[in-house]
Structures are given as C-alpha cells and as structure tokens.
Amino acid sequence: MFPSTKTLAAIAVISATFARVTEAQCVAARTYLHNRPFIDDVITMELWHSGRKVCSERASAFFADNEDFYQWDCPDLDEPRVSWRVKTWENGQQLEISTMIGEQELKAYDVENKDTDYNDWCDAWTDNGCKARASSYESCHWISSVCTNGETCNLCDGRAVCDTPP
C-alpha cells in the first residue's frame, strides 16, 4: 500500500518546517524572577530568535523558590504550526528550549546559561530596621551552537523586560 498524496504533502510540509526551524539563527532567552515579601513572586521570560522577540511571558507564585517549574509555549513568528517551548526552574537559572508541533517535539536545543545576577534589598522597614527583604534573579541563556556571529547574551540591568535583543 502506498501513502496518499495528502499524506506525502503533509510529510513534505513537516520536513521543510523541521529543516527551517531546527537550523535556527541565534536563539536566546532572558528570565527575571522578583521575590517579594507578602505578595506573589513574579517570573518574566523573554524569548528571542534571530534578533526578533518571539514572546514575553509571566507567571506568579506565592513564595517562589528554586523548585518551582514554569513552562510557556510561544508561537513561531514565521511558521504558525510551530511553537517554541520554554521551561525554566531554579529561579530562572536553568532553562530548556525546544521546538514543537502540537505536543510533538521537533528538536530539543542545548541551552547554556551565559550570565546570572542576584540582588537583594530591604523591602519593609520599621523603626527597628529591615523586617523583610526582596530579591531578584536575572539570567540570560542561549543556544551557543546557533549564536556564532558575534551575538551576546546580555542581562537587562535589573529590569524584568528589556525589549532589546540579548
């Protein structure tokens, strides 16, 4: 039995999509986690592909810690059937990036954490001094195998969103 024309066409489309997406130019992601006393902590993630922002997503959790896990699916800018799946944990310091069609993984990329910065400060003062501290973790990750044209992976200088490529 031979595959139908429709099946062959679907295979051709998936093959072409796989080739284009898996041969990605520089892909980078920034994370920023703001730990705040008394209210939900917020993590922000920006995903960049070839100098264009694919998405910016947020999540929150009360008393977020290094065991909390976050996952986002961001639609590809050029191929509507493809999404970029970003997973992060350990206060945004660990991150995975893969391309997906639905729940089918096309490719899992080898992601490298290029830079992380931690800051803390007093967020609640009383007459007796600091009673509660806030903190932030900021990280920049990239797929080093496709970032080979002099790109950098810069932090946002303590801002949750940069709006400029890493």
Residues 98-153 have pLDDT tens digits of 999 999 999 999 999 999 999 999 999 999 999 999 999 999 999 989 998 888 88
Retrieve residue 103's tokens: 């729940």
Strands 104-108 and 94-101: antiparallel
Query: Is the pLDDT reported for residue 39 higher than 90?
Result: no
SS3 12: helix
**Does residue 6 or residue 151 have the better pLDDT?**
151
Contact by Cβ (8 Å): 11, 4: no
Whether 12 is in a domain gets the answer: yes
Domain range holding 54? Answer: 5-142
Query: Is the pLDDT reported for residue 159 higher than 90?
Result: no
CA distances from 68 to 24, 52, 88 (A): 29, 28, 9
pLDDT at 15: 56
Kindly report the pTM of this predicted structure. 0.80
Taking residues 13-17, what's their average pLDDT? 54
Q: 66-75: per-residue pLDDT in tens?
A: 778 999 999 9
Distance, in Å, from the CA atom of 90 to the CA atom of 64, rounded to the nearest integer, reads: 10
Whether 160 is in a domain gets the answer: no
Contact by Cβ (8 Å): 125, 5: no
Q: How many domains does the chain have?
A: 1
Whether 165 is in a domain gets the answer: no
Whether 150 is in a domain gets the answer: no
HSE-CB of 44 using CA atoms within 13 angstroms? 14
Whether 76 is in a domain gets the answer: yes
